[in-house]
Every structure is written in C-alpha cells, then in structure tokens.
Amino acid sequence: MSTFASAREAARAAAWLETYGSPLYVYDLGEVELRARELLAVLPAGSRLLFSLKANPLPAIAARLCQLGCDAEVSSPGELAVALSVGFPAERVLYTGPGKSAEEVHRALGAGVTGFSAESWLDLERIDRAARAARVRARVLLRVNPNAPPVARLAMSGVSSQFGFDETELVEGRARLASLDGVELMGLHIYQGTQLADAQALLAAVQQALEVGEALCGALEMPFQVVDVGGGFPWPFATPGVGLEAAALQGPLALLAARRQRTASSALWFESGRWLCASSGALWTTVVDVKRSKGKQYVVLDSGIHHLGGMSGLGRVPLVGMGVARAGAETEPGALEEVNVVGPLCTPLDCFARNLKLPSLRPGDHVFIPNVGAYGLTASLTGFLSRPPPVEVAHRDGVVLSVSRLRWGHESYEPPATARLRSKQEAR
Ligand SMILES: Cc1ncc(COP(=O)(O)O)c(C=O)c1O
C-alpha cells in the first residue's frame, strides 16, 4: 500500500466511514487468503501452520484461516472461545502461554482441547493434574528456551525470560517427566520472537529450533511426534511496505527439514499471526484539528494509542507511517509539510508520528495507517480515556462480510456461586 490510497480504495473507505463512523478498522480478507496460501505453499511437506489468534482475534479472520487449513494457537479463554466459535475443531487447537491458571486449563480440557504447550514445571504439573481429574490425556509440547537468541525485534528466547524451560533445566529434570500420568509428551515448542529481521534470520531461527529438537530428542531419550518451530515471519507494522518473499523460504526450509535425523519423522509445526493478517488491515481516521505550537504543525486525528500501538508510548512499537486519501493530495504542488500526528487522548504519549512529511491536511480529511491487521486494536490501550473502540469491517473484494465492535465500558459482575460461598465462609 502506498502513501496515497487508490481512488477505488478511497471511495470504498469514504462510504464505510460514512456508514459506520470514523475511525474504522478495515480488513481485506483477500489479503489474509493470499498470505495464508503463500505460506502454506512453502512449508515443508506435511507441516502444519497454526494461526496465532493474539495477532488478531477478529472472528471473520480466524474463520477464514480455519477454512484455509490452518490450526489455532490460543493463549487465553477469550482466544479459545473465538477459535471454537469459528469452527476450529478442539483437536486442532494448541493452548500456549505462561501463567495458565488451573481454572482455564480445566475449562479448555472441558471444551475438548488436549493440546497444550507447557512453560514450566508447575505449568506442566498443573496440566497433568487437570487432565487426570478430567480423565483425559493432555498432549503436551514442552516449550524450550534455547541457549542462543534469534535476531528479532522482540526476542523471547535465548535470553532470560518467563517463556519455556531452559534447555539445560529440561535435561537435568528429565526424571520428573517420567512421573506424569495425565500427559502424553508429544514434543517441543520453540517460539523465539516476533518480527524476525528477514528471511535469513527466520531460517537461522528454524535451523536453531531443529537443532535444539535433535539435541533434546537425544538427551531426553524420547521420540518427538511434533517439533513446533514457532515462526516470527516478519511484516511491516503500521507503515507502508511488504514483508519477506515467502517463495524464497521454500527450498531452504525443505533442506533444513530433510537434514533432521533423530527427529526426521516428527511432524513440523509453524506458527504465524503477524504475517498472516498484518497486510489485511488499515486503520482509517479523520483529521479533527490542525494547529501550530511553538513552530510545529500538529494534525489531531480522531484515533490514537487506544486504537493502535498503545505500546508505542512505552517505546515497544515504532511510530507509524500514514497514507492520505484526499483526491488530488498526491499531485498538489509543493504540498508536503512536516507534521506531528497525534490522537485525541490527554497525554503527550498519544502520538502516532513525529516530523512526518505529509500533504497539507485539513479537518475532515481521511488519513489511513496501513499494515495494522496484526497487533492493531487488541494490542492497544482500548480502555484508556473511555473512548469507544472503532468499528471493524471485514470485506472481500469490497463486499462487507462482517461488522463488529469490541465490547466497551463496565458491566456489573456477579461472582460464580462457588466464589460467593467461599467469601461468605471466610467472612464468618
Ligand atoms: C508462542 C507464540 N506463538 C506465536 C506468536 C505469533 O507471532 P507472530 O505474530 O510474530 O507470528 C507469538 C507472539 O508473541 C507467540 O508468543
């Protein structure tokens, strides 16, 4: 997507902004399909691709990825509910994440999910206990934190972290693994970080994960049915551009898979959130005010860090790049100005971009932020300042397939009956 919307895109967006209000998230399911097909086509034969709902739990997106043959990776009761509601069979769901409560493990088992990634001894023993109580066997992947880090914007392995077992810890504690009756140890889960730098970094991470698989398969003297090598497939965030060329991965991935020895017959699983849905989404906003302060030009939008990149204020998300949708803006002579683009929240952290060169903007103009289909709305500070969440529209070829809005505001809360009883007994 370039800095200027095409006339077709601009006209479509203008009509939807008129109907559903501004700001508006627009997701093109055609893009989701394209990305999923591209990635599925280049993975080694027999691999499975898990869609990580944390990137975007919008049901229309999850449903399409389910239909296209992806499995689901979920990390919360909410993501699980979406996955099941859009048709992922429970046996195609992997429940991951540190800090899973006994209650959520119990509920997931109750919903038929038996695939879990265990992040620690306690997590593993909790899954084991819950499975025994439910009289089922949980199929568990041990999440491993490899010794070396990947080249990632947000490395989650190879450094001290809350994620997974350190490689050495697992080997030293292997006798503990033998004592679990409620779980079947299926293999390993190695997720090294999101937004890996490029194809080379991605292939290096997969290679490292496969090597860890080989080493642990030997050290634990255990066959692995599955080696989940994670992903981290990169795509630009909130700025124009495209991600890596998927086709370039096919040959090298096949070679890496073929080099395996001890794990040669293990199924390979890959995970992706960002790459599958980043390009599908754009946040369309409207300019509310244009003002000057101490020599700087400010463009105030009707959307801010409560709708996109709430973590940018914490320095974890880069400032964004924008596109402009006013007809003729791209041809206005000498019209580029340096502006700070800010949102409507009462904090200086509510800033999308500093010193960005944009055509001169006026109140009422539409500005869009591309590549926000992943880690957009639900990775933002949606509760901050109590402004309503934007409507989300999913379409295919301009035909609207779903229109929804995240729930907003407070609802009264009734604790479950057991908790009421406990608190009454404690009060006595
Ligand atoms: C365990 C796990 N799997 C998958 C993902 C999705 O990563 P990405 O969106 O980079 O594909 C994440 C992201 O944090 C993760 O923690």
**β-pairing, 281-293 with 24-28?**
antiparallel
Percentage of residues of the chain with pLDDT beyond 90: 74
Residue 231 Cβ < 6 Å to ligand 1: yes
Count of Cβ atoms closer than 10 Å to residue 216 Cβ: 26
For residue 1, name the pLDDT band (cuts at 50, 70, 90).
Answer: very low
Stretch 152-160: mean pLDDT, rounded? 68
Q: Residue 316 has what pLDDT? A: 46
Query: What mean pLDDT, rounded, does the chain reach?
Result: 91
For residue 150, name the pLDDT band (cuts at 50, 70, 90).
Answer: low
Atom number in ligand 1 closest to CA 272: 11
> For residues 311 and 377, what is the distance between their CA atoms, to the nearest angstrom?
11
Residue 96 Cβ < 6 Å to ligand 1: yes
What does the DSSP assignment read for 345-373? SSSTT-EEEEEEEEE---TT-EEEE-S-S
> For residues 254 and 158, what is the distance between their CA atoms, to the nearest angstrom?
25
Yes or no: say if 195 and 150 are a contact pair by the CB < 8 Å rule.
Answer: no
CA geometry: angle at 122 spanning 118 and 127, to 5°?
A: 55
Count of Cβ atoms closer than 10 Å to residue 192 Cβ: 32
Q: What are the residue boundaries of the structural domains of the chain, listed by start?
A: 27-278, 281-405
Closest Cα to atom 14, ligand 1: which residue? 194
> For residues 348 and 51, what is the distance between their CA atoms, to the nearest angstrom?
35
Q: Residue 22 has which token pair?
A: 């501004």
**Among 200-204, 328-332, 370-374, where is mean pLDDT lowest?**
328-332
DSSP element (H, E) containing 106 = helix 102-110
Closest Cα to atom 1, ligand 1: which residue? 191
Exposed, middle or buried by CB within 10 Å (0-12, 13-18, 19+), for 404? Answer: middle
Q: Distance from the CA of 197 to the center of ligand 1, in angstroms? A: 14
Peptide bond before 234: cis, by omega within 30 degrees of 0?
no
Distance of CA 336 to the CA centre of its chain: 34
Q: Residue 303 has which token pair?
A: 């959307």
Q: Which among 94, 194, 274, 372 is the best mutation to test ligand 1's pocket, defined by most ligand atoms within 8 Å of the CB?
A: 194
Q: Distance from the CA of 135 to the center of ligand 1, in angstroms? A: 31
Q: Residue 340 has which token pair?
A: 């700070």
Percentage of residues of the chain with pLDDT beyond 70: 93
Residue 194 Cβ < 6 Å to ligand 1: yes
> For residues 271 and 248, what is the distance between their CA atoms, to the nearest angstrom?
18
Shared fold status for 27-278 and 281-405: no
Multiple choice CATH, 27-278, 2.20.28.90, 3.20.20.10, 3.90.950.10, 1.10.3720.10? 3.20.20.10
Q: Which among 161, 228, 271 is the best mutation to test ligand 1's pocket, defined by most ligand atoms within 8 Å of the CB?
A: 271
Closest Cα to atom 16, ligand 1: which residue? 191
Residue 104 Cβ < 6 Å to ligand 1: no
Exposed, middle or buried by CB within 10 Å (0-12, 13-18, 19+), for 407? Answer: exposed
Residue 274 Cβ < 6 Å to ligand 1: yes
pLDDT tens by residue, 387-425: 999 999 999 999 999 999 999 899 999 887 877 777 777
Residue 234 Cβ < 6 Å to ligand 1: no
CATH level 3 topology of 281-405: Lyase, Ornithine Decarboxylase; Chain A, domain 1 (2.40.37)
Residue 382 Cβ < 6 Å to ligand 1: no
**Of 299, 314, 319, residue with least CA distance to 237:** 319
CA atoms within 13 A on the CB side of 64: 24
Q: Which among 54, 65, 144, 156 is the best mutation to test ligand 1's pocket, defined by most ligand atoms within 8 Å of the CB?
A: 54
Residue 97 Cβ < 6 Å to ligand 1: no
